[in-house]
Amino acid sequence: MVVQATARPVQHESLFDSAVEQFNIAADVIGLDDNMRRILSVCKKELTVHFPVEMDDGSVQVFEGHRVHHNSGPGPTKGGIRYHPDVTLEEVKALAMWMTWKCAVVGLPYGGAKGGVTCNPKVMSQNELQNLTRRFTSEISLMIGPNRDIPAPDVNTNPQIMAWIMDTYSMHHGYSIPGVVTGKPLILGGSEGRSEATGRGCVFAIQEYALKYGMNLQESRVVVQGFGNAGSVAARLLWELGAKVVGVSDSTGGIYNPRGLDIGRVIEHKQFSGSVVGFREAENVTNEALLELPCDILLPAALENVITADNAARVQASLIAEAANGPTTPEADRILWDRGVKVLPDIFANAGGVTVSYFEWVQALQAFPWTEPEVNERLQRIMARAFRAVSSTSEKYNVHMRTAALALAIQRVADFTRVRGIYP
């Protein structure tokens, strides 16, 4: 097959419209009153900034960035910062709303936030990225803080970028404030286990599903779309558990071997070549074709809106575990539900990252680090508890697990809002 670069699907409605549609579906299930719907269906604060950055060649480019707070009822807001050419305010708003629900599903004392800069970091030098990050941090500094809003890594951002954010914020205040971000390098107060947390949490979610529904992971075929941090970690952990990972992909394309891939060697190949494409023991496939391969478990771990009304009927997996944010559209959800395909939704399945970010924040406030086994054990316990809550809610209302997770989260945030009341 010919390898093709993945293009983001055309969006007929904004991502935020999809997020609100999902919210209303779940709100109907729990009978949420109109006043609470008005409060929770909008974002509390939206900041858009345009800022200049001096590039290595001496030219100046002006970038657009956003930071959005959806809801701060449960506590400080929490959410990543992404660098990507397609970042928009509508996308950031949707991701902030989903972060509110994600934190509520796993019981964290956070509201939801998100941020992003419209740029292509893959063509920028480290110096240019540092200049952009420090200036963006300065622009949004009125929005963030260890007890106000705590950023973290997201698409195309990493511990080094978090270190620059922490340093810039700390310089503005005159002393070190490690709790302003999570996902930092260990030397600056990062948490053991943070880099693997999203992928590991997704695997914990799959294990809980397998226990409840009698799925034998060692007999399961797995496809992972997106071989970045979350996808590669999840693929490796499932492979180590004995699952047969038959297909993986990154932004340039995918590979497929129905007999199973040696994920350790695939990781080595990507480190050497920069892509999974061209791995000798597999056939090259497109990202679009990868989603429709024969498998038992499909992990979309890249960008949003990849499973749509156009391809949902051709997805062959019996279980979809969403390691990415918003990979499935509402129309696709309905098709999958009618076909009996189970979905572990993003606000639950990829909550491992924000959960260990919470652990990192707690460690920063206490100035007392935990070991990696302690982090992983606490993460597994939280993911297991959240799965039981989502599963029981799904059975109670006879709805799929996304609506159940949303209903559970919305009810929790609504309860916070009612108890706190409305400040006059």
Catalytic residue ranges: 114
Give the rounded distance of the alpha carbon of 354 from its chain centre: 9
Q: Are 257 and 282 in contact (CB under 8 A)?
A: yes
β-sheet bridge partners, residue 255: 248, 284
Distances (CA, A) of 392 to 260, 339, 375, 385: 34, 21, 26, 11
Q: Please give the span between the terminal C-alpha atoms of the chain, in angstroms, as a whole number.
A: 62
Nearest to 297 by CA among 362, 219, 364, 359: 219
- Burial-class residue 123 by CB neighbours within 10 Å (0-12, 13-18, 19+): exposed
Type of residue at 238 = L
β-sheet bridge partners, residue 153: 81
**SS3 of 192, please?**
coil
Give residue for tokens 């799959």.
206
How many other CB atoms are found less than 10 A from the CB of residue 64? 15
How many other CB atoms are found less than 10 A from the CB of residue 321? 27
With b for 16 or more beta-carbon neighbours within 10 A and e for fewer, the 202-232 pattern comes to bbbbbbbbbeeeebebeebbbbbbbbbbbbb
State how far the Cα of 99 lies from the Cα of 109, in Å rounded to an integer.
Answer: 12
Strand order in the sheet with 283-285: 283-285, 253-256, 244-250, 221-225, 297-300, 319-321, 342-344
DSSP state string for 372-420: HHHHHHHHHHHHHHHHHHHHHHHHHHT--HHHHHHHHHHHHHHHHHHHH
Type of residue at 99 = M
